[in-house]
Amino acid sequence: MGKRVGKEKVDREPGYLYFVGKDGYVWRAPMKRNKKGSKKKVGTEKIDKKSGFMYYLDKGGYVAEAEMKNA
Other C-beta atoms closer than 10 Å to the C-beta of 48 total 6
SS (H, E, C) the chain: CCEECCCCCCCCCCCEEEEECCCCCEEEEECCCCCCCCCEECCCCCCCCCCCEEEEECCCCCEEEEECCCC
Question: Is the distance from CB of 29 to CB of 39 less than 8 angstroms?
Answer: yes
Pairwise CA distance, residues 12 & 8, whole Å:
13
pLDDT > 90 fraction of the chain, expressed in percent and rounded: 86
- Tens of pLDDT along 53-65? 999 999 999 999 9
Q: Average pLDDT of 42-50?
A: 93
Mean pLDDT of all residues belonging to the chain? 92
Q: Name the residue ranges covered by the structural domains of the chain.
A: 3-67
Q: Please determine, for residue 71, whether its predicted confidence score (pLDDT) is greater than 70.
A: no
